Chains A and B, each alone.
Chain A
Amino acid sequence: MKTDANIPDPDGFYEAWVAAHEGLSDAESADLDARLVLLLANQVGDQAVLLACIAAARAAAAMDRPGD
């Protein structure tokens, strides 16, 4: 799993990600992100990297949660 910067234009990516959610309800936004995860996962195409990304995202959830 890459942890160093690999997105060519980070601010541009973030802007586009935010823009994609504009005008959507929370539920629609969550649906969009779920579709985005699948599309990106297929671009990665490496099982070990995918599992490492899932673990990293989950670990961050544990850190966000007080007392967990």
Chain B
Amino acid sequence: MAAAEVWKFAPAYELPSWPFEPPPDLGARERRRYPVVIAGGGLSGLTLACDLLLRGIEVVVLDEDDTVGVRGASSRGICYAQKSLEIFERLGIYEKIRAKGITWSVGRTFSGADEIYSFNLEDDSHSEQPPFINLQQFYLEWFLVERIRELDAKAIRWKNRVVRVEHGAELAVVVVETPAGGYTLEADWFVDATGANSRIRDALGLEAHPSRHTDRWCISDVRFKKPLPVERWTWIDAPFNEGRGVWQHLMADAVWRLDYQMDEHADPESISRPEVAGERLRAQLGPGVEFEFVWIGPYQYRDHLLETFRVGRTIFVGDAAHVVCPFGARGGNNGIQDAGNLGWKLALVLQGEASESLIDSYHAERHAAAVENLRVTSRTARFLAPRSAAEHRMRRAVVALARTHPFARRLANTGRMAQANDYPPSAWATAGARTVQNVAFDGVTLMRCLARGTRFLGLAVGADAGVLAELDGLAALFPIDFRRIDPQSPLTKHLGAAAGTLVIVRPDAYVAAALPAATLDTVAATLRAALGIDERAKLSTLA
């Protein structure tokens, strides 16, 4: 009999921490009012803070911890989608992410030993950023913190815990506890980014429609020397995991995330013991492959969706607002994209360029996105964890036909990777709003054009100097810049815009409208709607 294997553990990640500094509000005679106060320094809170600082808005971030990541855990999110990467390009941390992370675009799905489905996300990609980069979440948070500290060294207040919030129609009053005592501040806008277990949300008694899933998984983050393709591999029914699902993905520092579906009745403590997890790895990697554990973590998942993302001057972003099943990277990316949707709106409202009603469009658009993401991920969850003999039979039929019939491959659902959600028609965008990728054109990129200030971009396809000069009159009245774009340019093709069209792109790289026969009146009306400005406002100056 072979000697029992000895399971090795890598040293823990070394994460930075930042010192508590007594904030100026401690012991101040008068309460100060801030334009934006964000509770929670996770992905969505930090992205929003960074975005607002770049737009010239003062921000306070209250974080109860003094580091990044989740204590005692490894990384939560690992896959960052193109739209998120494009936001980070605008925020100035994309190159760090690219250098540290793992770029990938191919995914493969296996049943037993056979590949039954694959995709290559490069096929639909025209952006300067790749479809996906994998990176441990805490590295991303770390890069965001460093960038925020460059912009405003005092913006993040570590070891500052929100203990109570009074929610008013015109402001929020935030009571904060610190190691040096408590203080109170006021916020024109208060953002709850404190995550799935938000006490701020719960204290308001808001209905979040939580539901728990019985499906059970166990993550092993592992370093090993066996070279494997840098692709997303998923098994519906892996022979090396008793016929259950397995996920295989590479992260930074040569750490592989191997995620194993377990019997739903399994005991989480016993399945995560090193010797049990080690046997699973040995079965997958084969004999003789040296590996060391970085982290082992069993989990079940749940979902919830808040009915309204705004209550007065309080706004919910990220997991505090929505949690979906963990398939297809639709959690963290949507927290980041909540921030991308909200930042420019808050900035324009605070700068007096848009009406307060624009903040309601944040709910309209991001709630719709969350509904869609919940639907997509719930379908994956159902495929991965059949609940009856009939459902097992249906899945067996898909898998059996997928081996020989291409149509059935599209039914194998091990996750539909996160895409930037299109937004439904609304008062702010009558035809809905569609995302635009960060395409390079005329020696610039879309995100570079959108990185200066908080302005819309009017792309006039094939326009002459006269038309542009006329349009430029509007640039004095509304936060918009116009530029000519060639009918043959890659961005024009990506937009599908014909010559003579004026495409109005929002600061978050969504198309607000494509006007085939724009007049100054229709452009002004589109911008007023997109900014939530009253019909009469700015009309007199136009005439």
Task: Give the distance in Å from the alpha carbon of A39 to the alpha carbon of B406 in the complex.
Answer: 11
From the candidates B393, B394, B401, name the one contacting A39 in the complex (CB within 8 A). Answer: B401
Q: Looking across the interface, which residue of chain A has its beta carbon closest to that of B394? A: A34
Q: Looking across the interface, which residue of chain A has its beta carbon closest to that of B395? A: A34
Chain A: minimal CB distance from B170 (Å): 48
A31-B393 CB under 8 A given contacts A38-B408, A38-B411: yes
Q: Looking across the interface, which residue of chain A has its beta carbon closest to that of B410? A: A42
A37 located at the interface, meaning its Cβ lies under 8 Å from any Cβ of chain B in the complex:
yes
Interface size class of A (residues with CB under 8 A): under 10
* Dominant secondary structure of chain B at its interface with chain A: helix
Task: Give the distance in Å from the alpha carbon of A38 to the alpha carbon of B411 in the complex.
Answer: 10
Interface size class of B (residues with CB under 8 A): 10 to 19
> CB-defined interface of A6-49 with B at 8 Å, one 1/0 digit per residue?
00000000000000000000000011001101110010000000
Task: Give the distance in Å from the alpha carbon of A31 to the alpha carbon of B396 in the complex.
Answer: 8
* Dominant secondary structure of chain A at its interface with chain B: helix
Chain A: minimal CB distance from B393 (Å): 5
What chain A residues lie within 8 Å of B393 (beta carbons)?
30-31, 34
What chain A residues lie within 8 Å of B407 (beta carbons)?
42
Q: Looking across the interface, which residue of chain B has its beta carbon closest to that of A32? A: B397
Task: Give the distance in Å from the alpha carbon of A30 to the alpha carbon of B405 in the complex.
Answer: 19
CB proximity to A under 8 Å, residues B70-111 = none
B400 located at the interface, meaning its Cβ lies under 8 Å from any Cβ of chain A in the complex:
yes
Chain B: minimal CB distance from A6 (Å): 22
B401 and A38 form a contact (CB under 8 A) = yes
Q: Looking across the interface, which residue of chain B has its beta carbon closest to that of A37? A: B397
> CB-defined interface of B400-443 with A at 8 Å, one 1/0 digit per residue?
11000101100100000000000000000000000000000000
Q: Looking across the interface, which residue of chain B has its beta carbon closest to that of A27? A: B393
Instruction: Report, nearest first, the 7 A-B pairs whose CB atoms are least far apart.
Output: A34-B397, A35-B397, A42-B407, A34-B393, A38-B397, A34-B394, A38-B401
Interface residue ranges, B against A (CB under 8 Å): 393-394, 396-398, 400-401, 405, 407-408, 411
Interface residue ranges, A against B (CB under 8 Å): 30-31, 34-35, 37-39, 42
